[in-house]
């Protein structure tokens, strides 16, 4: 008998071929970053403008954080905007350009030769971000629905482009004097555009949609989200203005207050979504995602300390290192851990079992990875994070090295689980 489906409202998901390379690349970048951390842990007892520290930071920010977020956002943007992704080709272009550009840049930092290779890498990364932004802008423009989450994501992508453009200028500034001051001076401007404008805004935009969705929560508060959006962007814009036009370090408290308020409001949003959830059982992946929201407190406290010391006595290198470490290895890594295993198994399940739905028993998406490995990874991660953070604060190379061993183990377990999912073969009863 003929089976007919009239599902004109059902738009096909973004192809797995677009999304999966980003996940695989990010997982390997994380492993490479922890390996570099293991071999270069002593760099974290010195100034943050250190070749190996710069290489690890860029590998974490671009290869790990940005690549996985770009991959996931190609899958999640259609959910957020309730419309289709404009172009799979642009997504492939974006991946290919970034995948070549990132190692060129990271290698240049590692050997501290910020010449043509670094510039070439930075140009490729910028081209990748432009492709992503065009794809995102057309997808949003074509969608009939306007929503606050899409505005967060689009603004975050604009900040990402600004970050990488400033990064490109800084690589040229190493060899040609095109900026009034040296590249080190602009480092905090470049870093905060990326951390606050790109990562924080994007995580909040996507998280404010997905956390209530996964918890099946009744909570929704668009007005609060608009407040958070304004505080983050207002805080960041005021930081840039103060950085460029004022020499009063005290004024830096204003953006810190604005962004801290936004974080408290976001914490409140997540707490309300959690309290009003219908699904009482919270899985381990959601637990680590919610934990990442709490982990934002570490860089915030470090940042307040940095600004306070800047006003009183001068820059505190240890706090700056702790701040950077807790952003990339703390908050961003924790949320990626949670969200990887909330999204990747479903993407692969759709790829492998889509044509088998209803034709026999198939495994659940959750069965595609090992939860035991996930829990082991979580324990190793928290141990490594605490040890390394303590090692930075007391400048102890032995504690730093022990922390890196746990973090390297974490990355190995993460990669095992990710590649277990990516290489999953069909199993039907």
Partner 1 sequence: MNVTTNSNIKCSLALAELQNVMDPEIGLNVVDLGLIYRIYFDEAEHTISVRMTLTTQFCPMGESMTDAATQALQQVFPDDKVQLTLTFDPAWNSEMISEEGKKYLNK
Residues near partner 1 (CB under 8 A) are: 1-13, 75, 78-79, 82-83, 213-214, 216-218, 278-281, 346-347, 349-350, 353-354, 357-359, 364-366
Q: Are 412 and 384 in contact (CB under 8 A)?
A: no
Q: Are 182 and 213 in contact (CB under 8 A)?
A: no
Q: Which is nearer to partner 1, 215 or 411 (CB)?
A: 215
Q: Which is nearer to partner 1, 371 or 383 (CB)?
A: 371
For 215, other C-beta atoms within 10 Å of its C-beta total 21
Q: Which is nearer to partner 1, 145 or 177 (CB)?
A: 145
Q: Which is nearer to partner 1, 88 or 188 (CB)?
A: 88
Q: Which is nearer to partner 1, 108 or 217 (CB)?
A: 217
**From the CB of 337, what's the least distance to partner 1, in Å?**
18
**From the CB of 354, what's the least distance to partner 1, in Å?**
5
**DSSP of 297-348, one letter per residue?**
HHHHHHHHHHHHHHHHT---HHHHHHHHHIIIIIIIHHHHHHHHHHHHHHHH
Q: What distances in angstroms separate CA 331 from CA 163, 183, 271, one per listed residue?
A: 19, 27, 17
**From the CB of 310, what's the least distance to partner 1, in Å?**
45
For 359, other C-beta atoms within 10 Å of its C-beta total 9
Q: Which is nearer to partner 1, 3 or 244 (CB)?
A: 3
Q: Which is nearer to partner 1, 81 or 170 (CB)?
A: 81
**From the CB of 217, what's the least distance to partner 1, in Å?**
8
Q: What distances in angstroms separate CA 168 from CA 103, 116, 128, 190, one per listed residue?
A: 15, 11, 13, 10
**Rounded to 5°, angle at Cα 107 from 102 and 113:** 120
Measuring CA to CA, which residue among 133, 255, 108, 251 is closest to residue 183?
108
Q: What distances in angstroms separate CA 32 from CA 113, 228, 403, 409, one per listed residue?
A: 20, 35, 16, 12
**From the CB of 156, what's the least distance to partner 1, in Å?**
19
Task: Calculate helix-pair angle for 67-81, 116-142, nearest 10 degrees.
Answer: 10
**From the CB of 10, what's the least distance to partner 1, in Å?**
5
Q: Which is nearer to partner 1, 148 or 322 (CB)?
A: 148
**From the CB of 395, what's the least distance to partner 1, in Å?**
45
**From the CB of 138, what's the least distance to partner 1, in Å?**
17
């Amino acid at each position: 008998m003929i089976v007919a489906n009239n599902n004109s409202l059902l738009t096909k998901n973004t192809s797995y071929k677009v999304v999966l390379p980003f996940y695989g690349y990010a997982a390997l970048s994380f492993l490479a970053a922890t390996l570099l951390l293991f071999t270069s842990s002593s760099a974290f007892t010195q100034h943050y403008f250190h070749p190996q520290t710069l290489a690890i930071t860029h590998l974490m920010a671009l290869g790990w954080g940005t690549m996985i977020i770009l991959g996931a956002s190609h899958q999640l943007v259609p959910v957020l905007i309730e419309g289709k992704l404009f172009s799979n080709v642009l997504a492939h272009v974006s991946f290919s350009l970034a995948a070549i550009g990132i190692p060129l840049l990271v290698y240049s930092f590692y050997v501290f030769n910020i010449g043509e290779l670094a510039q070439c890498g930075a140009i490729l990364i910028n081209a990748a971000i432009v492709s992503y932004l065009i794809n995102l802008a057309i997808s949003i423009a074509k969608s009939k629905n306007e929503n606050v989450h899409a505005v967060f994501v689009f603004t975050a992508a604009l900040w990402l482009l600004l970050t990488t453009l400033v990064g490109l200028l800084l690589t040229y500034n190493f060899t040609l004097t095109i900026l009034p001051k040296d590249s080190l001076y602009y480092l905090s401007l470049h870093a905060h555009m990326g951390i606050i404008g790109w990562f924080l805004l994007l995580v909040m935009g996507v998280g404010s949609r997905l956390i209530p969705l996964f918890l099946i929560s009744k909570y929704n508060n668009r007005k609060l989200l608009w407040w958070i959006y304004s505080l983050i962007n207002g805080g960041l814009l005021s930081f840039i203005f103060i950085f460029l036009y004022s020499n009063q370090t005290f004024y830096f408290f204003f953006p810190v207050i604005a962004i801290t308020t936004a974080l408290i409001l976001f914490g409140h949003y997540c707490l309300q979504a959690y309290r009003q959830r219908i699904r009482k059982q919270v899985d381990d992946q959601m637990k680590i995602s919610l934990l990442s929201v709490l982990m934002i407190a570490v860089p915030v406290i470090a940042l307040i300390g940095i600004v306070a010391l800047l006003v009183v006595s001068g820059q505190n290198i240890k706090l700056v290192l702790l701040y950077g470490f807790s952003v990339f290895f703390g908050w961003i890594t924790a949320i990626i851990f949670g969200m990887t295993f909330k999204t990747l198994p479903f993407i692969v399940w759709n790829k492998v079992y889509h044509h088998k739905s209803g034709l026999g028993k198939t495994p659940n998406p959750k069965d595609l990875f090992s939860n035991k490995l996930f829990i082991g990874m979580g324990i190793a991660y928290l141990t490594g994070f605490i040890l390394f953070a303590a090692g930075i604060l007391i400048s102890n190379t032995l504690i730093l090295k022990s922390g890196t061993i746990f973090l390297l183990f974490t990355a190995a377990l993460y990669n095992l689980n990710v590649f277990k999912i990516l290489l999953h073969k069909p199993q039907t009863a």
